[in-house]
Structure 1
Amino acid sequence: MDWFYSFAILISSILVLMGLGLPVAFAFFATNIMGLFLFFGGARGVTQMVANFSEAVTTYALAPLPMFLVMGSLFFRSGLGDRVIHALDLAIGNLRGRLSYVTLGSGSIFAALSGSSLANAGMMGTLMAPEMLKRNYKPHMAYGPILGAGSLAVIIPPSTLGVLLGSLAQIDVGALLIAGLLPGLVLVSMFCLLIWVQTTVDPEAAPQYPVPKASGWAKARAVAANILPMGFLIFCVVGTIIMGIATPTESAGLGCMGVIALLLVYRKFRWSVIWQSLDDAMKVTGMTFLIITASTTFSQIFAFSGASNGFISAVTGFDLGPYGALLMMVCVVLVLGMFMDQVSMMLITIPLFMPIANSFGFDPVWFGLILLLAYEIGFTTPPFGMLLYVALGSAPRGTTLRTMAVSAAPYVGLTLLLIVIVVAFPPLALWLPGLMGR
């Protein structure tokens, strides 16, 4: 049981430091320094940690991350998102719960253009929540679609969290991004069905109201002018990867060029928007790279101390079987998701879970997608689900966290159902990566 003491020291140190409010990167660095002196030869270990820095952040798989961030920031800051919402609103017509469908549809498109759940939920909450509440939508019909649409950016490519997971777990980033497309579309369909059921069971949850009638030609023109060009961007990012035309890094560059081209076409190009987007991407990328450097050293300490091999032997020794071990790992992520952000969970669990997944022969892309879905649930589970607080920020004074959690609960349930479907039917996740010749 010697491995257990190493395991307990390293994991508990990180949890305690983060519980005290220390930023994730610094909590890992502090734990690393302690672990280096305990297990890695002290000063020589610190020298090794410094040497890891350049190697950790010069991984080619990380190159798409800043460009995806720039692309999403350009899209949101330029006002292109407003045009998409207006076109969907016009096209849907006077359907009961129309604003909930508009929120979900717009959020799904934004997920394929931004890769950021927080930005997605923040924009939809700011633009759509006040209008839905003004139209007397019940809270679960107003905030549920916002939370559901926000979480979609975790698996619908280009997912920045997917890029980070692929890099840390040494999974083919392109294959992992593409693997989320079909499950993401299935999840969108399930969310639409949920809205339909909610409005059918309780019509007063989303009251109908008079809307100006639009001709079929006007609807088609709005879709052609404001939504189809977004399809061009999605092709630049997703289609080029599937067709083998571009790597994830090249597709990210194409996506940035596509957004800038649309800004020029719609006469929304401003240098101030460019600089703000670059600033947004620089801040997030800098912190992400700092976290990655800390995580790389932590993984080495974890392996060198014997904690990694000991933990794997203990788990496989329980004779849980592959699906029992998978269930255990998903449950661990779900519990951690109640108290941690996604990056923190990823840094703690990947060094533990990937060797176990490899020992059972799990397909790394399939397993990575299941982890992404589990991390996605953590965005909307109380008490620390980050999307809950983003939505709460756009809510009227007096709105409680409980209201947000209740609104998110059906969407969390459907995401859990999707995990079961992906486990039972792996081709849902692996068919598109297979087309890439993987």
Structure 2
Amino acid sequence: MDWLFPFALMVGLILFFMGVGLPVAFAFFLVNIIGLFLFFGGSAGVTQMISNFSDAIASYSLAPLPLFLIMGSLFFRSGLGDGVMHALDLCIGNLRARLSYVVLAAGAVFSALSGSSLANTGMMGSLMVPEMLKRGYKPKMAYGPILGAGSLAVIIPPSSLGVLLGSLANINVGALLIAGMIPGLVLTVLFALLIFVQTRIDPDCAPLYPVEDISFLAKVKAISVNIVPMGVIIFLVVGTILLGIATPTESAALGCVGVFALLVAYGRFSIKSVWAALDDAMKVTGMTFLIISASTTFSQVFAFSGASNGFISYVTGFDPGPYTFILIMVLVILVLGMFMDQVSMMLITLPIFLPIANHFGFDLVWFALILLLAYEVGFTTPPFGLLLFVMIGVAPPGTSLKTVAMAVAPYMICTLLLILLIVIFPSLALFLPNML
């Protein structure tokens, strides 16, 4: 088992360095240097790593990432999201847990406009948690729907994590983004059914309260002013890819132009908000490109050392079967999600999981979507799920991690159920990509 030493050394060092608090990119660079000296010719390998940097990030498939980040940042910083929340609040009737449904619907819309789960959760949490708790909603009905709706941005296009995964795995980014559309809507419906069941079992979890009766014309006006224009942006981003009019990069540029046009139309355009959006995108893009440069070399060293092929031969020697492998993969991601963020999980698991997926002959778009859903669960896996800490940050002082984690647990189960449905019915993920 000559592969076992490099496998254990490289994966173990990555986990160790990240465990002691070293930033992800630096942890990968440090392990790369160690691996290059041991398995790749020493200083000559380091020189090769440096020359690989430009090739790693000079990929056309990565171009949508900063554009989607700019679009989402402009959307949230300009306050356009407040209007969407207000319109949805007016249109949903006096249902039990109406604010939970408002949050869920808004989360689905915001996911198609920002691509950022952290931004969605932070915005909806800061706007809605105080109001929901004031209305007597129990924590599971206040925190749970916000965390569930926030996580939808992982699979509903334009998903920033989807762009990164598609680029790293050399998968058609447009097909992967579109593949998340139907599963994202199915997951939204599952979340809505969950809210309905929870209110049936425990009516006191979301008390009814008087709601002003709004005329039909007022509802139409609210939708026309605040939601229909957002639908145009969604079409520019998603519809143009689906219809074959634009590539993901072109659709991202169209989305930015559309948001700029809305800012001007609503009188919310300002140099300050544009500069802040560019600054946000620059920071995240710079960090992401640094991580990609490090992970590309990691994959090369991992393969050159024999760890990759050795591990594949070892695993397939047990003849686990494709579905058993998917189960093991999801369980591994759930465990990793307890201790690290999604990008870190992706960089560690892709060099291991992707070759095995190729061995089994999986459709890579289908497989990548299952990975994204598993990473989505990792967003809310205690004790270190990032969305949990975002929610604690906007919750009342004294809110415990246990309270937030218990609130989101049923939504995690819904996501795992969706993974099972996609495994049983692959057309849920592949219907729209096959139309491209």
TM-score (norm 1): 0.99
Shift of 1:333: 0.9
1:364 maps to a residue whose letter is L
User: Counterparts of 1:270-309 in structure 2 under 5 Å?
Assistant: 270-309=270-309
The CA distance in 1 between the partners of 2:219 and 2:198, in whole Å, is 26
Q: Indicate the SS of the match to 2:213.
A: coil
Shift of 1:199: 1.1
The CA distance in 2 between the partners of 1:324 and 1:186, in whole Å, is 24
1:420 and 2:401 correspond: no
Mean CA deviation greater in 320-329 or 20-29: 320-329
The CA distance in 1 between the partners of 2:339 and 2:424, in whole Å, is 29
User: Counterparts of 1:81-230 in structure 2 under 5 Å?
Assistant: 81-230=81-230
Q: Partner of 1:347 in structure 2? A: 347
2:14 maps to a residue whose letter is I
Shift of 1:32: 0.3
1:232 and 2:232 correspond: yes
1:303 maps to a residue whose letter is A
The CA distance in 2 between the partners of 1:366 and 1:336, in whole Å, is 22
2:414 maps to a residue whose letter is L
Shift of 1:208: 1.1
Shift of 1:398: 1.2
2:392 maps to a residue whose letter is L
User: Counterparts of 1:282-431 in structure 2 under 5 Å?
Assistant: 282-431=282-431
The CA distance in 1 between the partners of 2:395 and 2:103, in whole Å, is 15
CA RMSD of aligned residues (A): 0.5
The CA distance in 1 between the partners of 2:318 and 2:50, in whole Å, is 38
- What are the Cα deviations for residues 18-68 of structure 1, in whole angstroms up to 9, with x where unaligned? 000000000000000000000001100000000011000101100000000
The CA distance in 2 between the partners of 1:167 and 1:312, in whole Å, is 22
- What are the Cα deviations for residues 330-374 of structure 1, in whole angstroms up to 9, with x where unaligned? 111111111110000000000011100000000000000000000
* Runs of 4+ with deviation above 4 angstroms: none
The CA distance in 2 between the partners of 1:316 and 1:400, in whole Å, is 43
The CA distance in 2 between the partners of 1:93 and 1:87, in whole Å, is 12
Q: Partner of 2:257 in structure 1? A: 257
Shift of 1:201: 1.4
The CA distance in 1 between the partners of 2:395 and 2:327, in whole Å, is 35
The CA distance in 1 between the partners of 2:228 and 2:370, in whole Å, is 31
2:349 maps to a residue whose letter is T
- What are the Cα deviations for residues 119-172 of structure 1, in whole angstroms up to 9, with x where unaligned? 010001000001000111000000001100111000000000000000001110
TM-score (norm 2): 0.99
Shift of 1:211: 1.6
The CA distance in 2 between the partners of 1:7 and 1:24, in whole Å, is 18
The CA distance in 1 between the partners of 2:373 and 2:34, in whole Å, is 33
The CA distance in 1 between the partners of 2:79 and 2:55, in whole Å, is 38
The CA distance in 2 between the partners of 1:398 and 1:17, in whole Å, is 31
The CA distance in 2 between the partners of 1:202 and 1:328, in whole Å, is 35
- What are the Cα deviations for residues 67-120 of structure 1, in whole angstroms up to 9, with x where unaligned? 000000000000000000000000002111111111111111001100000001
- Count of aligned pairs: 436
Question: How high is the sequence identity, in percent, across the aligned residues?
Answer: 71
Unaligned residue ranges in structure 2 (runs of 5+): none
Shift of 1:328: 1.2
